[in-house]
Structure 1
Amino acid sequence: MTRLLASFGIALLLAGCASSEMDSLAPKTVESVDLKRYQGTWYEQARLPMIFQRNCVQSEAHYTLKPDGNVAVLNRCRDAQGKWQEAKGTASPQVAGKTDKLWVEFDNWVSTLLPGVTKGDYWVLYLGDDYSTALVGNPDRRYLWLLSRKPHIDQQARDELLSKAQQQGYDTTRLIWRTPDSEMPKGTK
């Protein structure tokens, strides 16, 4: 019985070490992002749950490169009734001259009261060669977005994004997928 408990304890310890080792390793980002090519519209295919997107069934992001090298952000979210909500903000490099890790800060009352405190990580983890798909997350793997240039992607592109996310250690079983247009109320497309 003592050996069984000791074996069980060692197994739990090793499992804890393995998961904490993965947790302590930040996901790998792409080498660099050509922000000029990255700008434009991206459609969210799936995401890990986020509180501010709790009522979203379809989301899209519009990025515009600004003269100062930062990126203007316009996020749009459609709820199940077809109503759109918008949030505007700015993305800026976390390290000068590097474009794989950005800070995003939205223009709202919290960021006005506490400037710099409400910045969120926006790490580009994967980017298709033709800039048609992207995988974006944050260092602690709590947030993840599977993005594409088109509202709908084929199964091969979907599987590729899922595989890339799993390789980076993200829990893809919790993903919330985009609601197809066919399931939206009529007149909201």
Structure 2
Amino acid sequence: MKGKLLWLTGIIAMAGLLAACNTGSVKMPNQELAASVDLNRFMGTWYVHGYTPTFLDRNAYGATETYELNESGKIETTYRFRKGGPDGKLKTMTPTGWVHDEKTNAEWRMRFFGLFTSPYYILYVSPDYGETVIGHPGKEMAWIMTRSSQISDTKYQTLRMELARRDYDLSELTRVEHGE
């Protein structure tokens, strides 16, 4: 019973966080997004190397985000990580996304727990679709991802600069470790 109460409390807290982050009234992105995103090339698994932790994914290890475009045009998303380290408990979240701006495919919406929707901005994707930087209208939440489980410090800093030049608050941006 105590575990269920803790889980329910966590869901309610996440609902509050997402409601605070939900900027559904934002009509146009308040920052520069990628000029164009080829959805088919963007689909697949990305390794998360930097992220803004929430109470649900704090201390993530080996985090990945996988996108799959289904027949109805929805983007089935699977976010996986181990809590605290390589032997930590495997956590999985499965929000559903959809393209909000079909002209560029760089602005999505993500629905969490079937209840709350939040903007998802593809700020940058490399020409070879090997690196991406994801942001949010509040400029407080961000993700740095690549197709590889490893990233050099130089490459990480270069991708981090994509956020800095858009005036993101990077004080909470956290590196994610991945095993060899």
1:83-102 matched pairs, under 5 angstroms: 83-102=89-108
Any conservation in 2 of the 1:27–1:169 contact (CA below 8 Å)? no
The TM-score normalised by the length of structure 2 is 0.76
1:64-87, Cα deviation, whole Å (9 max, x unpaired): 111222211111121124221111
Tell me which amino acid in the other structure corresponds to 1:132.
G
One of 61, 67, 70 as aligned partner of 1:66: 70
- Secondary structure of the residue aligned to 2:60 is coil
Which consecutive unaligned segments of at least 5 residues does structure 1 have?
1-24, 183-189
Count of matched residue positions in the alignment of Structure 1 and Structure 2: 150
Any conservation in 1 of the 2:45–2:64 contact (CA below 8 Å)? yes
Q: CA deviation at 1:40?
A: 0.5
Pair 1:178-2:176 in alignment: yes
Q: CA deviation at 1:173?
A: 3.5
Q: Report the structure, 1 or 2, having the larger helix content.
A: 1
Which consecutive unaligned segments of at least 5 residues does structure 2 have?
1-28
Pair 1:139-2:143 in alignment: no
Higher alpha-carbon Rg? 1
Question: Percent same amino acid among aligned pairs?
Answer: 24
Tell me which amino acid in the other structure corresponds to 1:90.
T
Match of 2:32 in 1: 28
1:128-183, Cα deviation, whole Å (9 max, x unpaired): 1111110001011121000110111123321210111110111223211112426x
Cα gap change, 1:37/1:96 in structure 2, threshold over 3 Å: closer, same or farther?
closer
Structure 1 runs of 4+ aligned residues shifted over 4 Å read none
CA RMSD of aligned residues (A): 1.8
Q: CA deviation at 1:95?
A: 3.3
Match of 1:20 in 2: none
Structure 2 distance, partners of 1:150, 1:140, is 28
Structure 2 distance, partners of 1:104, 1:154, is 29
Structure 1 distance, partners of 2:158, 2:123, is 13
Structure 2 distance, partners of 1:101, 1:40, is 18
The TM-score normalised by the length of structure 1 is 0.73
